[in-house]
Amino acid sequence: MTTVFNDPTQFAQDMLAGFCRLHADTVEPVTGGAIRATETPEGKVAVVIGGGSGHYPAFVGWVGPGMADGAVVGNVFSSPSTQQVHAVATAAERGGGVFLSYGNYAGDVLNFDLAQERLITDGIPTKTVVVSDDITSASTEERHKRRGTAGDLVVFKIAGAAAEAGYDLDGVVEVAERANDATFSFAVAFAGCTLPGDSEPLFTVPAGRMGVGMGVHGEPGIGEQDVLPASELATMLVDKLLTERPEGATRAAVLVNGLGGTKYEEMFVLWNSVAPLLDEAGVEMVAPEVGELITSLDMTGVSLTLFWLDPELEELWLAPAQTPGFRRGAAVATTRRTRTATDAAADTSFPPASEASQASAQRLVEIGTRLAAVLHEHEEEFGKLDAIAGDGDHGRGMTNGADAALNALTAAVNAGAGVASALAAAGDAWGDRAGGTSGALWGAGLRAAAGALSDEEAPSGAAVRAAVRAALDQLLSYGKAERGDKTMLDALIPFTEALEQDDRDLSAAWSAAADIATEHAQATADLTPRIGRARPLAERSIGHPDPGAVSLALVMRTAAP
């Protein structure tokens, strides 16, 4: 049970504020998360990590000398937004480029990838290594599909030590990739965890049983069995991990991780069996860690991780680190940072715009006002549609996004923004506030559309068509879904094609294309979801249209110019 909170929707923000207050000598809050409060040398690679909250000490607990320069802090168990990642990286950056790293989950990949693209556009070299250590979540052949769990600590520690030692961005990427490839984890869970404000746990495990291969958000495991005595549990974990032991590997860092509700004493009991087993198998253990490393709120359970070392990785594993959640070696001398961090979110000025473009931006406000009202009317309907096979948040996501976009649009227009800048601000706000996969994609799509418009002139019919195409291309490239996967693309693709093929004036062509999008959205009822949250319960969704496709068609009908 999660018991101590105020407004559950503010849990992550309240947690972050308390953490930064406590560790004010080490970390400082910025838009989207926290960065080091201490000086770092000019030209150092900035290591920026992150993910959802509820996993402490991952991720914000690992900001400090020897590890991360910044951590992006999402809501409980949900990916931070693109805007949050971009803001934290911008604040942490010191001229040596940005190294992004996080556990492998679709929402995080989407948002960190989009942020990486924006950082590169800003002129900041940025590279990413995604952590994928959970051996039960995909086979060795599909290693890149594995989830990231306690291996996060390994990869962040290695990257942090390398950056601190003066490696350049490519050098940090190289050792971090090598560390990820050499890291293998396996978890069991005895009981579920409860989100702040919820009365029921996210999942349950029957008494006396354990989930084998459970994920850190309660994702189903590969099986369930009776709880074993500690020594037999140790054998099960060790044997399974040794099946993936690389050729000739002898030295390994070993992690026993508690998922949040399992006591340190229990972990010591487990270690008392794990260590002799590894010894017998000829594994030389280097600086093992036993404790809470990546938790899952109050979930009870443990995981074991083996990180196979080579001499360079071993040196980096043993290098000093001084963070609130992970310490190693002698204390590192630090001085308090004097410069103020760049706040990417604080810049609210807009480039000069022509009167024609400003007038078009004003029309966007009118469209945005209609849209927000219509989406509120349909909020419940979209929520119910998403609850059939998804998680029921789509109605809320669309109204949150549309409300935030309208606020940002209004503010931009009042500040004299042209249509391109106003739409970009709306996209940013939508992506930052909507939540969910569709929120990140809507935000990115609106920003891409803005890129095809200008602040100098009112958009022509051709420019609007190009903007819609740019949005579609962005969704295809970042969402990685295809036509027929049962997503909003099944409405947006026919919409875009119809708009491009219809050479009547924009208003007539748009209305006709919106009708086509509506038909295609309804026709998704016959499809089986092949991507996104609805995929695991795919068969339930048959006979019902895709919520994202239906809402997109409604937006297009409402937005007709």
Nearest to 413 by CA among 425, 403, 430: 425
How far, in Å, CA of 168 to CA of 150, rounded? 25
The active-site residue, picked from 55, 86, 217, 394, is 217
Q: Which is nearer to ligand ADP, 9 or 460 (CB)?
A: 9
Segment lying near ligand ADP (by CB under 6 A), choices 34-42, 231-239, 273-281, 528-536: 528-536
Residue 390 near ligand ADP by CB under 6 A: yes
Cβ atoms of 147 and 185 closer than 8 Å: no
Would you give the binding string for Mg ion spanning residues 333-372, x where CB under 5 A is met?
----------------------------------------
User: Tokens standing for 229?
Assistant: 């005595």
Residue 487 near ligand ADP by CB under 6 A: yes
Q: Which is nearer to ligand ADP, 176 or 471 (CB)?
A: 471
Cβ 480 to Mg ion shortest distance, Å: 17
How far, in Å, CA of 356 to CA of 365, rounded? 15
Residue 379 near Mg ion by CB under 5 A: no
Cβ 446 to ligand ADP shortest distance, Å: 14
Cβ 405 to ligand ADP shortest distance, Å: 15
Residue 292 near Mg ion by CB under 5 A: no
Q: Using CB under 6 A, pick the residue from 548, 554, 555, 556 that binds ligand ADP.
A: 548
Task: Please enumerate in sequence order all residues whose Cβ is within 8 A of that of 223, keeping only pairs 6 or more positions apart, or say none.
Answer: 211, 212, 213
How far, in Å, CA of 136 to CA of 129, rounded? 20
Cβ 533 to Mg ion shortest distance, Å: 6
Q: Using CB under 6 A, pick the residue from 533, 545, 553, 556 that binds ligand ADP.
A: 533
How far, in Å, CA of 379 to CA of 400, rounded? 10
Q: Which is nearer to ligand ADP, 232 or 391 (CB)?
A: 391
In the residue annotation, 376 being an active-site residue is answered as no
User: Tokens standing for 260?
Assistant: 């949040």
Segment lying near Mg ion (by CB under 5 A), choices 269-277, 319-327, 373-381, 383-391: 383-391
Cβ atoms of 255 and 307 closer than 8 Å: yes
Q: Using CB under 6 A, pick the residue from 82, 438, 454, 496 that binds ligand ADP.
A: 438
Cβ atoms of 82 and 115 closer than 8 Å: yes
Residue 532 near ligand ADP by CB under 6 A: yes
Can you point out the beta strands (E) in 1-80? Answer: 27-30, 33-36, 46-53, 70-76
The binder of 129, among Mg ion, ligand ADP, none, by C-beta within 5 to 8 A per type, is: none
Side-chain-side CA neighbours of residue 530 (13 Å): 13
Cβ 384 to Mg ion shortest distance, Å: 12
Radius of gyration of the chain (CA): 25
Segment lying near ligand ADP (by CB under 6 A), choices 48-56, 112-120, 128-136, 431-439: 431-439
Site for Mg ion in 140-169 (CB under 5 A): none
Residue 28 near ligand ADP by CB under 6 A: no
Task: Please enumerate in sequence order all residues whose Cβ is within 8 A of that of 194, keeping only pairs 6 or more positions apart, or say none.
Answer: 1, 2, 200, 201, 202, 297, 298
Residue 386 near Mg ion by CB under 5 A: yes
How far, in Å, CA of 86 to CA of 97, rounded? 13
Residue 546 near Mg ion by CB under 5 A: no
In three state form, how does the secondary structure of 211-267 look? EECCCCCCCCCCEEEECCCHHHHHHHHHHHHHCCCCCCCCEEEEEEEECCCCCHHHH
The binder of 548, among Mg ion, ligand ADP, none, by C-beta within 5 to 8 A per type, is: ligand ADP
Q: What are phi and psi of 112, to 5 degrees?
A: -65, -35
Q: 3-state class of 46 per DSSP?
A: strand
Cβ atoms of 43 and 94 closer than 8 Å: yes
**Is the bond preceding 494 in cis, omega lying within 30 degrees of 0?**
no
Cβ atoms of 136 and 221 closer than 8 Å: yes
**Binding residues for ligand ADP, total number by CB under 6 A:** 25
Site for ligand ADP in 343-362 (CB under 6 A): none
Q: What are phi and psi of 310, to 5 degrees?
A: -115, 175
Q: Which residue is nearest to ligand ADP (CB)?
A: 548
Strand partners, 63: 68
Q: Which is nearer to ligand ADP, 160 or 383 (CB)?
A: 383
Residue 51 near ligand ADP by CB under 6 A: no
Q: Which is nearer to ligand ADP, 480 or 504 (CB)?
A: 480
Q: Which is nearer to ligand ADP, 449 or 475 (CB)?
A: 475
How far, in Å, CA of 312 to CA of 170, rounded? 16
Q: Using CB under 5 A, pick the residue from 244, 343, 391, 505 that binds Mg ion.
A: 391
The binder of 479, among Mg ion, ligand ADP, none, by C-beta within 5 to 8 A per type, is: ligand ADP
Residue 390 near Mg ion by CB under 5 A: yes
Cβ 541 to Mg ion shortest distance, Å: 12
How far, in Å, CA of 191 to CA of 430, rounded? 36
Would you give the binding string for Mg ion spanning residues 393-432, x where CB under 5 A is met?
xx--------------------------------------
User: Tokens standing for 456?
Assistant: 């100098």
Task: Please enumerate in sequence order all residues whose Cβ is within 8 A of that of 321, keeping only pairs 6 or more positions apart, or say none.
Answer: 64, 65, 66, 67, 157, 160, 161, 327, 328, 329
Residue 379 near ligand ADP by CB under 6 A: no
The binder of 205, among Mg ion, ligand ADP, none, by C-beta within 5 to 8 A per type, is: none
Q: Which is nearer to ligand ADP, 218 or 459 (CB)?
A: 218
Would you give the binding string for ligand ADP spanning residues 464-483, x where CB under 6 A is met?
-----------x---xxx--
User: Tokens standing for 297?
Assistant: 């709120």
Q: 3-state class of 65 per DSSP?
A: coil
Query: What residues are labeled active site?
Result: 217
Interface residues with Mg ion (CB under 5 A) are: 386, 390-391, 393-394
Interface residues with ligand ADP (CB under 6 A) are: 386, 390-391, 393-394, 397, 436-439, 441, 475, 479-481, 487-489, 531-533, 546-549
